[in-house]
Amino acid sequence: MSETINLTLKIWRQKNSASAGQFVSYEMPGVSTHMSFLEMMDVLNEKLISKGEEPVAFDHDCREGICGMCSMFISGRAHGKLKGTTTCQLHMRHFADGEIITVEPWRAAPFPVIKDLVVDRTPLDKIIQAGGYVSVNTGSAQDANCLPVPKKDADEAMDAAACIGCGACVAACKNASAMLFLSAKVSQLALLPQGQPERKERILNMLSAHDEAGFGNCTNTGACEAECPKEISISHIARLNREFLGANV
Amino acid sequence: MFSVLNLYFFSMTTLNSKIPEGNLSEKWTKYRSTVKLVNPANKRKLEVIVVGSGLAGGSAAASLAELGYKVKCFCFQDSPRRAHSIAAQGGINAAKNYKNDGDSVYRLFYDTVKGGDYRAREANVHRLAEVSTQIIDQCVAQGVPFAREYGGLLDNRSFGGTQVERTFYARGQTGQQLLLGAYSALSRQIAHGQVTMYNRHEMLELVIIDGKARGIIARDLVTGELERHFGHAVVLASGGYGNVFFLSTNAMGSNVTANWKAHKKGAFFGNPCFTQIHPTCIPVSGDYQSKLTLMSESLRNDGRVWVPKKQGDLRRPEEIPDEERDYYLERRYPSFGNLVPRDVASRAAKMVCDEGKGVGPSALAVNLDFRDSIKRLGENVIAARYGNLFEMYEKITGENPYKTPMRIYPAVHYTMGGLWVDYELMTTVQGLYAIGECNFSDHGANRLGASALMQGLADGYFVLPYTIGSYLSGDIATKPISTDHASFKEAEDAARERITKFMNNKGTKSVDHFHKELGKIMWNYCGMARNEQGLTKAKKMIADLREEFWKEVKVPGTDKELNPELEKAGRVADFIELGELMVEDALHRRESCGGHFREESQTEEGEAKRDDANFSYVAGWEFTGVGQKANLHKEALVFEEVHPTQRSYK
């Protein structure tokens, strides 16, 4: 593979939530294929600064695929085309010389654009605040091994708990639904004995927070699962539905 | 009046660690049983500011709110769930002895003091070991999905620097799961209205009134507005300062600003030069590199570290026969082999690369080879143990570690230094606390693996909620102070003045340019090996860089909007000043200990040589002005239980 490639970036630029945005094209010659996507954005920003232009604002922090801060919609795919990968772990060796890449923010009504590629994802926090926890105060816990948990359940709970809360599922969904995100937390706690006492209220409260925030409903298209960088299974939405039924009977 | 002033001056300049009397193992119990309490009706009237929402900040904010205090919590990320604690991979230590392998509070205490090369405070470390078991109970009760055995009980694994299995883990994402546990507890308190959460906010100044921390100035990063916030006490939980090196395993936003502002207002900085350089990270691949990625220490359980015996050997590693390989850790440390502690492994890698035996395009890397383990155990066993790490390595480098050795090199990972705190976790400023990586306290000169998560949660869940009562019980009559107070105005003006300076500066160079320059100086002269000549040179270089920064830095955009360059500019300005202090500290500590290796102080075999007669103390630095020599205060370390010896892993 060639060590450098030439690219054209079409990036969404938007001053703030009140103003309209548009795509702006930037030529990026000589991009090293060892760079990560965000490092390429750093290089672009350094160029823009030296030319006296405003750099592109984007969210990012850990750059190792775990904090969930990065959030780019790259050529029509949340976090780009590589399966199970966040934007920060996407490397330029997966792009072709001469490729035109479009870069957009998450597009969903509950996630208003703050600037350029940065959106407001606080509605996801609101869903957790509505019940995504076990009500246990510090200091009141019994010995950790008093309550054995079958390994299978613990492993499945961990599969769900791997969610990084990036919001790719919402961005990928034609309904802008956050059901995969919501189901991951409901499923984790439903699988564990610690989650049982509040099981019913939890799902009802979290669902109403989800709907209040303006997220759409799930129509089982599966785009969320396909785009999730942590490959959270849509089967958690199936469990969510079962839990919802259970809470209503 | 004169004598009162004198008394005040005295108390400000003497480091009183406030270690309780009594036997080591009884100090914490006795303290908890006798510390002054605040009754529930009074707690409702007391407000506490927590800066940071990681393991320490998140758990402290939640626990203080549960007790009834009114809490305001600040983070610069868009959600408290994103703090960098989330990236910790390996696990969390606790003296549960579930394995029945002879573990105990004493052993965890002992391993931590020894691992820290006898530069930590015994009483703090013992308390840490004591509360470690409660942390696991608490996290399990929150629904943290720790790894379990088939019988349903919790699983443990071993980690560097210990001989028992006491590390609890959740796959390779232990930090994430513990943080999400703290975040869930925090979310519950936000929903109850006990915590007000300020996302995308950054603390820019500390407000001190009558010698006590009474609030902060924070910038709303979205609107750019400066805000005044009052608190009866202020808790800093703002993490470590590894990003002073530009390249580190820290998140891009991790910074020292909150700490540094506190330091400039009177909080002493403890052991700033104690930096942990982690041996197994993916090496630098180019100038554009923005951060370094850690590969878990656990890989050294099955991977063998080697370099070619011949200098500049450009053959592919698979083509180099065994007799032409130098398995240098196994050769130099036959009893610990590839599992020597982090500081030892890092220095050994540097040594072979300095000899010209490094591998890869930069020649600044060594091989971590799984060939023999795959042959012995099969690829599926290795995949089950390290599958996610191998995948991550391949994503970043494009190479398959099942077929060819990983290339690794040490990288800055953690900072043991931080704000000096007493036993109650209070800094030298009354009412200002520092918890988690942000304080200097428990790890001495080298932190053991899986101990950072333990300390962050110990401070936040089980230590601060008690110790803060000792201070706040004396403050119940203090009514909330209006933010119109002159000290708030003064602090806000100072923050605004600096922002205006950045925005009006007609410089030509980006913030990153200066950050990278600073990183190079720090890495070359204050990194894995340090000497008097290099440090003296670095001191001058950083001072020059500081001058140039203020003349030449260019910040685009405006200050009344989301402006990441402006945020970075403020952080880098503080990193530069911190860099000068780190160099000063490294220069004055003429011994080697833990992660601090002074080339002038080594054994014949090239190991770190401590000088207990002259340096068995914590260095607490007092700020005296930018570019001025800081004042050194010493807290003598007294070892009653553990007797310092030369660490040996031969």
- What per-residue string of b and e applies to B455-474 under the rule 16 or more CB within 10 Å gives b? bbbbbbbbbbbbbbbbbbee
Answer yes or no: do A239 and A151 share one domain. yes
Query: Is residue B342 flagged as an active site residue?
Result: yes
Whether the predicted pLDDT of B11 surpasses 50: no
B275-315 tens-digit pLDDT: 999 999 999 988 999 999 999 888 888 999 999 999 999 99
| The pairing of beta strand B70-74 with beta strand B195-198 | parallel
CA atoms of B266 and B273, how far apart (whole Å): 19
Q: State which of B410, B432, B452 marks the end of a domain.
A: B410
Whether the predicted pLDDT of B9 surpasses 70: no
The answer to whether B556 faces chain A, any CB pair under 8 Å, is: yes
CA atoms of B591 and B119, how far apart (whole Å): 12
**CA triplet B625, B225, A53: central angle to 5 degrees?**
90
Q: What is the pTM of this model?
A: 0.96
A88-106 tens-digit pLDDT: 999 999 999 999 999 999 9
Whether the predicted pLDDT of B388 surpasses 90: no
CATH number at residue A90: 3.10.20.30
Name residue B51's amino acid.
V
Answer yes or no: do B608 and B492 share one domain. yes
Considering only residues 475 to 534 of chain B, which have any Cβ-Cβ distance to chain A shorter than 8 Å?
Answer: 510, 512
Q: Is B284 left (phi over 0), alpha (psi -120 to 50) or beta?
A: beta
Answer yes or no: do A157 and A63 share one domain. no
Contact call for A158 and B171, based on CB within 8 A: yes
CA atoms of B511 and B563, how far apart (whole Å): 12
B614-640 tens-digit pLDDT: 999 999 999 999 999 999 999 999 999
Q: What is the ipTM of this complex?
A: 0.98
Q: What is the average pLDDT value for chain B, to the nearest integer?
A: 94
CATH number at residue B316: 3.90.700.10
Answer yes or no: do A213 and A236 share one domain. yes
Q: Which domain holds residue B398?
A: 279-410
**CA triplet B565, B569, B572: central angle to 5 degrees?**
130
CA atoms of B207 and A43, how far apart (whole Å): 38
**How far off is chain A from B529, nearest CA to CA, in Å?**
27
Answer yes or no: do A36 and A152 share one domain. no
CATH number at residue B600: 1.20.58.100
Contact call for B462 and A93, based on CB within 8 A: no
Which residues in A lie closer than 8 A to residue B572 (C-beta atoms)? none
Report residue B315 CA to chain centroid gap: 39
Answer yes or no: do A106 and A127 share one domain. no
Percent of chain B with pLDDT over 70: 98
pLDDT at B16: 95
Considering only residues 93 to 112 of chain B, which have any Cβ-Cβ distance to chain A shorter than 8 Å?
Answer: 96, 98
The token pair that represents B507 in the structure block: 């410089």
Which residues in B lie closer than 8 A to residue A55 (C-beta atoms)? 556, 564-565
Q: State which of A115, A145, A163 marks the end of a domain.
A: A115
Which residues in A lie closer than 8 A to residue B96 (C-beta atoms)? 144-145
Whether the predicted pLDDT of B8 surpasses 50: no
Q: State which of B410, B443, B471 marks the end of a domain.
A: B410
Residue B256 lies in a domain: no
Nearest CA to A210 out of A162, A161, A170, A164 is that of A170
Whether the predicted pLDDT of B7 surpasses 70: no
Q: State which of B389, B410, B431 marks the end of a domain.
A: B410
The answer to whether B87 faces chain A, any CB pair under 8 Å, is: yes
Answer yes or no: do A163 and A59 share one domain. no
Contact call for B142 and A134, based on CB within 8 A: yes
E-only strand ranges, B416-502: 418-419, 432-434
Answer yes or no: do A165 and A148 share one domain. yes
Which residues in A lie closer than 8 A to residue B82 (C-beta atoms)? 61-62, 67-69, 165
Pair B194, B71: CB distance under 8 Å: yes
**How far off is chain B from A223, nearest CA to CA, in Å?**
23
pLDDT at B333: 92
Considering only residues 196 to 215 of chain B, which have any Cβ-Cβ distance to chain A shorter than 8 Å?
Answer: 197, 199
Q: State which of A69, A91, A115 marks the end of a domain.
A: A115
Answer yes or no: do B384 and B489 share one domain. no
Answer yes or no: do A20 and A67 share one domain. yes
Total number of domains constituting chain B: 2
Q: Which domain holds residue A56?
A: 4-115
Answer yes or no: do B515 and B401 share one domain. no
Residue B349 lies in a domain: yes
CA atoms of B60 and B93, how far apart (whole Å): 19
Answer yes or no: do A242 and A127 share one domain. yes
Contact call for A139 and B134, based on CB within 8 A: yes
Answer yes or no: do A140 and A67 share one domain. no
Answer yes or no: do A127 and A243 share one domain. yes
Question: Is residue B611 packed enough to be buried (19+ CB in 10 Å), middle (13-18) or exposed (0-12)?
Answer: middle
SS (H, E, C) B598-643: ECCCECCCCCECCCHHHHCEEEEEECCCCCCCCEEEEEECCCCCCC
Q: State which of A61, A86, A115 marks the end of a domain.
A: A115
Torsion angles phi and psi, residue A31, rounded to 5 = -80, 125
Which residues in A lie closer than 8 A to residue B395 (C-beta atoms)? 82, 85, 89, 91
| The pairing of beta strand A100-104 with beta strand B167-168 | unpaired
Answer yes or no: do B506 and B398 share one domain. no
Residues B81, B119, B166, B342: which is the catalytic one? B342
Total number of domains constituting chain A: 2
